[in-house]
Structure 1
Amino acid sequence: MIGADLGKQLESYVQQLVDSGHYTSKSEVLREDALLVQDRETKLAALDASIRRGIADADAGRTKPAEAVFRRLAKKYGT
């Protein structure tokens, strides 16, 4: 079991969530929070990997001039 010192403000908020019936217990609130943090960290890791791939592509010269990309998009979308 993990104990957590949330501080007065967060402890009060968690209690309000339980008291309002949105959650059945403080543990349920903290479990959902941990799942949200896990999801955010997973998304950030994927973003970091994508950025690393983009940088590697740029370093290896696997890019197109921006003007060419803009022309293609303008033609495609009629702007």
Structure 2
Amino acid sequence: MIKKSITVTETQEAWIQAQLSTGQYASDSEVVREALREKQMRMAEIERIRNALNAAEESGFSAMDKEDIRASVKADLKLK
């Protein structure tokens, strides 16, 4: 692992401390790593949805609308 020093706002610190108080995390680092993992997953989801929408648009034909495509991609991500 790489050790980092970060600066957070007072609001972010209060949120981190609230997360620690739940007992789910042993350290600030665990809270931050989990938040980063969630952000990475969300960005990957957005990219997959964007790619699916672009592919459907480029094909010129799709029986699915945007919401169908989004739901399909999200369901596919849950299976992985």
Q: TM-score, normalised by structure 2?
A: 0.66
Q: Which ranges of structure 1 fall in alignment gaps of 5 or more residues?
A: 65-79
Structure 2 unaligned spans of 5+: 64-80
Instruction: Show the counterpart of 2:4.
Output: 2
1:17 to 8, 16, 19: 19
- The within-5 A match list for 1:28-67 is 28-58=30-60, 62=61
Query: Residue type of the partner of 1:51?
Result: L
- When Rg is computed on C-alpha atoms for both structures, the one with the higher figure is 1
TM-score of the superposed pair, with normalisation by structure 1: 0.67
- 1:63 CA drift (Å): 5.2
1:71 aligns with none
| Structure with larger RCO (C-alpha < 8 A, sep 6+) | 2
- Matched residue SS, 1:23: coil
CA distance in 2 between counterparts of 1:24 and 1:11 reads 15
